[in-house]
Chain A
Amino acid sequence: MTSKFRQKLRKIKLLQALASLRITCLGIFLLFLLTLWGTIAQVQSGLYLAQERFFHSFYFLVLGFIPFPGGQLVMWILFINVLAVMLIRFVYSWKNFGILVIHIGLLMFFVSGYVILNTAEESHVTLKEGQATNVSSAFHDWELAIWEAPPERTDGKVIRTVTGVDVARLKINQPLPMEDSGIIIKLLEYHRNANAYAVNDGDSRYLNASGVQKIEAAKLEKEPERNTPGIILEVTTPEGSSHVILYGAERIPTPIEAGGKTYHLSLRLKRYPMPFTLKLVEFIKEEHPGTQTARSFKSKVAVDTGGQWREKPITMNNPLRHREYTFYQSSFSVDQFRNESSTLAVVRNHGRVLPYISTFVTFAGLVIHFAMAAVNTRKRQRQGAPHAK
Chain B
Amino acid sequence: MRNKLRNLGNGFLLLTVLTGLLYSGNATAQNICPLDTLKPTKVNDLEAFARIPVLNEGRIKPMETFAKSFLLRLSGRRSYGKESALEWFARFIFAPRTTYRDQIFLINNPEILEAIKVDPEKRRRYSWRQLEPGYDKIKELAEVLMDIDEKELSAVEREILRVYSNLGYYIRISGAFAYAFPHPDFDLTSPEIKEKLGLATDRDKFSFYDLYVVTDKLEAAAMVLRGGDVQQWSEEGKTVARLINAMYFWTEHYGNAPFGVIPTVRYEEESWLSPMDIMRLNVDQEAYFDEITHIRNMTVYYWNGEQLQFNIAAKAYLDSVGKRLSPKEKEQYDRFGLELFYNDFNGFLWAKLGYGLAFMFLLFSLLSSRPWLSRTAAVLAVAGFVPHLIAQILRILIMARPPVSNLFETFIFVGLIAVILGFILEWVNRNSLGLTIASVSGLIFLTIASKFGGDGDTLKVLVAVLDSNFWLSTHVITITIGYAGCCVGGIMGHIYVLQALFDSKNTKRLNATLNNTLGILGFGLTTTFLGTALGGIWADQSWGRFWGWDPKENGALMIVLWVALLFHMRLAKLIHPLGVAVGSILTLIVVMWAWFGVNLLSVGLHSYGFTSGIAMGLITYVLFELVFLAVTVFVLGKKGMKI
Which of A's residues lie within 8 Å of B, judged by CB? 21-22, 24-25, 28-29, 31-32, 35-36, 38-40, 42-43, 46-47, 50-51, 54-55, 112-113, 116, 120, 122, 287-291, 293-297, 316-319, 326, 328, 330, 345, 347, 349, 352, 355-356, 358-359, 362-363, 366-367, 369-370, 373-374, 377-378, 381, 385, 387
Quick check: is B526 within 8 A (CB to CB) of the other chain? yes
Q: A290-B272, A293-B463 are in contact. Are A319 and B544 (CB under 8 A)?
A: yes
Supply 18 further A-B pairs (C-beta < 8 A) apart from A42-B551, A318-B541. A25-B574, A32-B565, A35-B554, A36-B558, A39-B551, A122-B544, A290-B55, A290-B56, A290-B271, A290-B272, A294-B464, A317-B541, A319-B542, A345-B543, A356-B537, A359-B537, A366-B529, A370-B519
Question: Is B58 within 8 A of A47, CB to CB?
Answer: no
Choose, from B89-97, B195-203, B598-606, the stretch at the interface.
B598-606
Which residue on chain B has the smallest CB distance to residue A362?
A: B529
Q: A43-B603, A317-B542, A352-B540 are in contact. Are A362 and B533 (CB under 8 A)?
A: yes
Question: Is A355 within 8 A of B536, CB to CB?
Answer: yes
Question: Is B469 within 8 A of A317, CB to CB?
Answer: yes
Closest 6 CB pairs of A and B: A288-B58, A21-B572, A347-B544, A359-B533, A289-B270, A370-B522
29 A-B pairs with C-beta separation under 8 A:
A25-B569, A38-B549, A39-B549, A43-B603, A112-B546, A113-B547, A122-B544, A289-B271, A290-B272, A295-B58, A295-B464, A297-B464, A317-B467, A318-B541, A319-B544, A328-B543, A345-B543, A347-B544, A349-B544, A352-B540, A352-B546, A355-B546, A356-B537, A359-B530, A373-B522, A374-B519, A377-B515, A381-B512, A385-B508
Select B272's contact among A51, A116, A289, beta carbons within 8 Å.
Answer: A289
Which residues in A have their C-beta under 8 angstroms from that of B430?
A: 387
Which residues in A have their C-beta under 8 angstroms from that of B147?
A: none
CA of A29 to CA of B361, assembled, Å: 41
Question: Is B269 within 8 A of A287, CB to CB?
Answer: yes
Question: Is A289 within 8 A of B549, CB to CB?
Answer: no
CA of A317 to CA of B558, assembled, Å: 26
CA of A378 to CA of B545, assembled, Å: 42
Which residues in B have their C-beta under 8 angstroms from that of A296?
A: 464, 467
Q: A290-B270, A374-B519 are in contact. Are A316 and B554 (CB under 8 A)?
A: no
CA of A369 to CA of B523, assembled, Å: 10
CA of A36 to CA of B597, assembled, Å: 11
Which residues in A have their C-beta under 8 angstroms from that of B536?
A: 355, 359
Select B603's contact among A42, A293, A330, beta carbons within 8 Å.
Answer: A42
Q: A32-B561, A296-B467, A366-B525 are in contact. Are A50 and B544 (CB under 8 A)?
A: no
Q: How far is the CB of B3 from chain A (nearest CB, A)?
A: 26
Q: Which label, helix, strand, loop or mixed, suits the secondary structure of the A interface?
A: helix
Which residues in A have their C-beta under 8 angstroms from that of B515?
A: 377
> How many residues on the B side are at the interface (Cβ–Cβ under 8 A)?
65
Question: Is A51 within 8 A of B549, CB to CB?
Answer: yes
Which residues in A have their C-beta under 8 angstroms from that of B538?
A: 317
Which residues in A have their C-beta under 8 angstroms from that of B270?
A: 289-290
Select A289's contact among B269, B545, B550, beta carbons within 8 Å.
Answer: B269
Quick check: is B444 within 8 A (CB to CB) of the other chain? no
The digit string for B212-242, where 1 denotes a CB below 8 A from any CB of A, is 0000000000000000000000000000000
Question: Is A366 within 8 A of B565, CB to CB?
Answer: no
Which of B's residues lie within 8 Å of A, judged by CB? 55-59, 260, 269-272, 428, 430, 461, 463-465, 467, 469, 471-472, 508, 512, 515, 519, 522-523, 525-526, 529-530, 533-534, 536-538, 540-551, 554-555, 557-558, 561-562, 564-565, 568-569, 571-572, 574, 593, 598, 601, 603-604
CA of A294 to CA of B493, assembled, Å: 44
Which residues in B have their C-beta under 8 angstroms from that of A316?
A: 464-465, 467, 542
Question: Is A370 within 8 A of B526, CB to CB?
Answer: yes
Q: How far is the CB of A88 from chain B (nearest CB, A)?
A: 16
Question: Is B272 within 8 A of A28, CB to CB?
Answer: no
Question: Is A319 within 8 A of B554, CB to CB?
Answer: no
CA of A29 to CA of B565, assembled, Å: 7
Q: How far is the CB of B430 from chain A (nearest CB, A)?
A: 7
Which residues in A have their C-beta under 8 angstroms from that of B508?
A: 385
Which residues in A have their C-beta under 8 angstroms from that of B574?
A: 22, 25
Select B601's contact among A40, A287, A367, beta carbons within 8 Å.
Answer: A40
Select A328's contact among B522, B542, B572, beta carbons within 8 Å.
Answer: B542
Which residues in B have their C-beta under 8 angstroms from that of A24?
A: 568, 572
Which residues in A have their C-beta under 8 angstroms from that of B569?
A: 25
Select A22's contact among B465, B545, B550, B572, beta carbons within 8 Å.
Answer: B572
CA of A381 to CA of B509, assembled, Å: 12
Question: Is A377 within 8 A of B519, CB to CB?
Answer: yes
CA of A319 to CA of B269, assembled, Å: 26
Which residues in B have their C-beta under 8 angstroms from that of A112?
A: 546
Which residues in B have their C-beta under 8 angstroms from that of A21?
A: 568, 571-572
Select A291's contact among B57, B541, B565, beta carbons within 8 Å.
Answer: B57
CA of A296 to CA of B465, assembled, Å: 8
Which residue on chain A has the smallest CB distance to residue B571?
A: A21
CA of A345 to CA of B464, assembled, Å: 17
